[in-house]
Each structure stands twice: as structure tokens, then as C-alpha cells.
Amino acid sequence: MRVLVTGHKGYIGTVMVPMLLADGHDVVGMDSELFGEDCLLGETEPQIPEFKMDVREVDSKDLEGFDAVIHLANLSNDPLGSLNPSLTYEINYHGSVKLAAAAKRAGVGLFIHSSSCSMYGAAGDAILDESAEFNPVTPYAKSKVLTEQAVSAMAGDGFSPVFLRNATAYGVSPKLRGDLVLNNLTGWAFTTGKVLILSDGTPWRPIIHIEDISRAFMAVLNAPREVVHNEAFNVAVPGENYQVRDLAAMVEEIVPGSKVEYAADGGPDPRCYRVDTSKIEKLLPDFKPQWTARKGVEELYKAYKENNLTEEDLNGTRFQRIRHIEHKQETGEVDSTLRWTSSTDEGELAPESELISSGSNR
Ligand SMILES: NC(=O)c1ccc[n+]([C@@H]2O[C@H](COP(=O)([O-])OP(=O)(O)OC[C@H]3O[C@@H](n4cnc5c(N)ncnc54)[C@H](O)[C@@H]3O)[C@@H](O)[C@H]2O)c1
């Protein structure tokens, strides 16, 4: 299939793109490149034909000729989403709906939205399937609910939206994120010897490796259209719902000399949910997750050692999405709406002919 991946230069995208290419798809990227080379962990990013473009500026002409859009480009976590809630709604909600509408007008048959289990929000100990009530507690999570509802209403003949509600991701990526729970706990352990828990440790979180998230997107691409049409799936792994304190204990066991500690100001965290995975197992049998949290900590620890990760890398502008964005705004490189201030950097659209002829993946 000819697939456009938005946000292909981010944490999940840089791992998903090579997997899509290996699966035989023809892949083009679209990203405003908020996280550049200064956010790389050692490796280089996959090279594919790409638009450097903000999804808010997309026109249906940009999407003609694609069979599917995989939409990853969003402000990607709660702290960043809470920095400026109206901007979060503008990018994550309005931007996503505009993109979906443009895809539908352009005749793109499949629109796979990277949604989130955080929509379930404050849900306590119950194990939730896709019909559970939404209790989003942050602008980020609310933006995901609003987008699902609006894009779902666009479903129809010839346009199949699919909503993949990912669990919290972990794993090594060229565009590592240090703000995700397992990456962060392992990073603290490696750089300081403290496995620092920032909450009271009790919240439940389903977690999943980014390669397994990518496998779910690929399973949707390869599934019969009637099976996935306008469906939402929890993207998680059976047995991989953990309390944060259990993850911390696992990190303590694996990273030599490390010890669990609780941050002095860490209180209860209202974001607490466990999810059921029966629907994805039944309807998308091609989705075969291969990772566990324990294997993930081992992978992260090895990569942190190889790349000499420092505490500043982990908690500063390199790997914390919110710090990076704040820094870019302080230096004036991006404005308060997260648009590049230099006209040479903004929204340039390579001609379609150039994209096709330069495709290294064809
Ligand atoms: N990582 C997780 O735990 C997780 C869990 C559930 C859902 N998700 C969702 O998956 C998607 C990808 O997450 P990620 O972890 O790779 O995030 P990320 O922050 O690493 O990557 C997001 C990418 O989108 C780009 N982007 C942001 N705003 C844009 C805009 N307006 N126009 C064009 N490009 C823009 C950024 O430059 C970046 O490359 C997001 O939608 C996120 O909400 C992630």
C-alpha cells in the first residue's frame, strides 16, 4: 500500500517506518520536525520521501494517491498537552479532524489514528474493554476522545477510520522519549542509581513496546476492511498491565546497584486504568506482540550504557518533549503556536513529482 505516516520523525514513527518498509509498503512521511537531530539517541533516522509540513496546513491535494494515512503527529503526552490546552485542541483535535476530512476528500480509504488508552483516565482497578466509559483527566486525553468522536462520524463508503488506543509505550527508538514511565524509571536507575517514582506508585498502566504498537498498525493495514471499519482497539499486551511500583521493582532488579525511591512531592495520580485486549486478539490475529516489560528494561539499560546516557539527557531538552518545546519557544525558533518562525523552515511542500522519483523505498 502507499502509506502516508504523519509524525514519522517522532518516537514511534522512527521505529514504525522501517517496519512498514520491510513489510513491502511504499511510505511517505509528513512532520513539522519539532524534534530534530539534537533529540537523537545515537542512531540515525530512516530516510524516506517526506513533507516537512504542519498537519494543520494540510490540503486534500497533498493526500491524493495514498491508500492509507497513519496519523501519529500530535502533541504526545499529558504535560506537553497541559502547557497550552487550547493549542493541544488545535493540533490534536482540530488538526486531526482536518487531516481526516482532507484524506476522505482525497479518496484515501483507510485513516488509522494513533489514539490512547489514557482516554479511560480515572478508571480505578477495573479491566476495561473498548466499550468502557471515557474519563479523560487531561487536555491531551480529552483531545483524543474528541478526535475519535468527530472522525468516527465521517466513516462511510470508501472511508474507514480506525482508532488504535495505544497503551503507554516504552522501548529504544532513534527519537527516544525520556518522559515515558519505563524509559524514565530505567533512565533514573542508570544515571543516578535511584529508581525515582514520581507518583505514589499505585496507578495502573498498561504498557507496550513501540515495535508491538507498530505491529498493530501493520495488522490494520493488512486486515479486511470490513473487520476494522470505524472500529477502536485497545493496543496492549495480555498480562502487561502494571502498577508503577511493580515496574520500578523490576528496574531495581535489572539495573545493578539501583534502589527504588519515591519523589518527595509525588502524590496520587488520577490517571489509572487497566485494559482488556480480547478484541484486538480476536479481530486482528496478525497482531502478535513480542515484548514484555522485563525485556524492555534490559533493552533500555543496554542502550543507555552504549550511549552513555546522562541525567541531563534524560530530564532535559534532549529527551523530555515538554522541555524541548519550551526551549524552542524560549529561543524563538518556534512561536507560541508551535510554527517555525523562520520562513525557510516552514511548511515547504516538495513537489509530488520529486517525491515519487526520489523514493528510496520503492
Ligand atoms: N508514546 C506513547 O506512549 C503513546 C501512547 C499512546 C498514544 N500515543 C500517540 O502516538 C502518536 C506518536 O507519539 P510519539 O510518542 O511518537 O510522539 P513524539 O512526540 O515522539 O512524535 C510526534 C511527532 O509529531 C510531530 N508533530 C507534532 N505536531 C505536529 C504538527 N502540528 N504537524 C506535523 N507534525 C507534528 C513532531 O514533530 C514529532 O515528530 C501521538 O499521537 C501520541 O499521542 C503515544
For a substitution probing ligand 1, which of 11, 78, 176, 205 has the most ligand atoms within 8 Å of its CB? 11
Average pLDDT value for the chain: 92
Ligand 1 centroid to residue 11 C-alpha, Å: 7
What Å distances lie between residue 299 and 4, 260, 269, 295, CA to CA? Answer: 29, 20, 27, 6
> How much is the CA Rg of the chain, to the nearest whole Å?
19
- How many other β-carbons are positioned within 10 Å of the β-carbon of residue 40? 18
pLDDT band, residue 10 (cuts 50/70/90):
very high
Question: What single letter denotes the amino acid at residue 19?
Answer: M
All residues at 6 or more sequence positions from 193 whose CB lies less than 8 Å from its CB, including other chains: 257, 258, 259
Q: Identify the CA nearest to 336 among candidates 98, 92, 87, 79.
A: 87
Percentage of the chain modeled with pLDDT above 90 = 82
Q: Is the pLDDT of residue 358 over 50?
A: no
For a substitution probing ligand 1, which of 74, 83, 116, 324 has the most ligand atoms within 8 Å of its CB? 74
Nearest CA to ligand 1 atom 13: 76
Nearest CA to ligand 1 atom 26: 73
Instruction: Find the residues whose C-beta lies inside 6 A of ligand 1.
Output: 7, 9-13, 31-35, 54-56, 72-74, 76, 91, 95, 114, 116, 166, 168-169, 175, 177, 180, 321
- Strands in 232-235's sheet, in edge-to-edge order, are 50-52, 26-31, 2-6, 68-71, 110-116, 160-166, 232-235
Q: Which pLDDT tens digit goes with each residue over 223-279?
A: 999 999 999 999 999 999 999 999 999 999 999 999 999 988 777 777 778 899 999
Q: Is the pLDDT of residue 354 over 90?
A: no
> Which of 120-134, 204-218, 294-308, 315-329 is predicted with the least confidence, judged by mean pLDDT?
120-134
Q: Which pLDDT tens digit goes with each residue over 325-349?
A: 999 999 999 999 999 997 544 455 5
Domains recognised in the chain with CATH numbers: 2-357 (3.40.50.720)
Q: Which pLDDT tens digit goes with each residue over 194-218?
A: 999 988 888 888 999 999 999 999 9
- The Cα 256–Cα 298 span in angstroms is 11
- Are 176 and 190 within 8 A, CB to CB? no
Q: Identify the CA nearest to 297 among candidates 305, 288, 287.
A: 305
For a substitution probing ligand 1, which of 11, 76, 334 has the most ligand atoms within 8 Å of its CB? 76
